[in-house]
Amino acid sequence: MSSQDSILITGGGGMLGHALADIFAARGQTAVALARNQLDVANESALQNAFATYRPTLVFNCAAHTKVDLCEQESAKADAVNGYAVGMLAGLCRDNGARLVHISTDFVFDGTSKRPYQPDDPVNPLGAYGRSKLLGETELRRNAPGQWLIIRTAWVYGRWGANFPRAIVQAARAGKPLTVVNDQIGSPTYAPDLAEAIVQLVHSGAEGVWHVTNSGQASWFDLAVATLQQFGITAQLTPISSEQWARIRPGSAARPAYSVLDIRAVTQRIGRPMRDWREGVADFHRAVQAHGF
């Protein structure tokens, strides 16, 4: 990555898109960040027009249909946005000599591992969202440009967009009793930390599949507790099992019980450890205090 790169960010209205744009702005680089209403990545002619207009040499694909439960009812839309659109984007990058950085997910795994997942571990998604994201990885490889990166991450949150910590804070402030699953384990990841690591990976010339999250692991209940503590909110918070949650919300998608990603390779590559997830939650609180949601 150089200062001469023409940078395009799809999904620019989301958490990671905003975080990436902020990094480039701080470095004095211009990045065109297009939100969903500005660029529908599932529309091939819209993608072609974006390439003709902006002539990117480096593309970050942050666009996705991320509502996991809704993907079960909208599997065709999930496949279009999370899957086939990635193939079209990869083909355009290939034909125009651009590099592609695509964001994927821990949901490509089934959660049966007893250790953090490595990038070359077998994939086996449990639901429509994970299957659509795996389709995106497959389509990228099928239409691969000269240089590409797949970044698998997990449990991302930030000041922009819908996410779990934001929902917990808003529900608690509204005085709602909270029931939170305590037997699904992952690595909560603060969007600005993720963005910084991705930029460093690209700058280092990394290629292929990488796992990037904050360090440490937690349950959703642990994340809820840490978030409410940071915000100084006292709430009625009850831990429940995934089985209990499925009875409360029978339309919910199956989620991996354990989806911690092995991030040793990325910490070696960028020359520093990823911050503990609790530090990310503290920064999230500071950002919300300063700027609001």
Task: Output the CA–CA distances (angstroms, integers) from residue 46 to 10, 37, 88, in the order listed.
Answer: 12, 11, 11
Extract the tokens encoding 116. Answer: 């953090």
3-state secondary structure of 58: strand
Task: Quote the crossing angle between the two packed helices 277-291 and 220-231, to the nearest 10°.
Answer: 40
Judged by DSSP in three states, 69 sits in helix
AA letter at 100: L
Close Cβ partners of 280 (under 8 Å, ≥ 6 residues apart): 188, 189, 190, 193, 214
Query: Is 117 an annotated catalytic residue?
Result: no
What tokens does 245 get?
A: 């949650």
Q: Is the dihedral of CA 155, 215, 106, 148 positive or negative?
A: positive
Q: Find the catalytic residue in 117, 129, 157, 258.
A: 129
Could you give the residue numbers annotated as active site?
Answer: 129
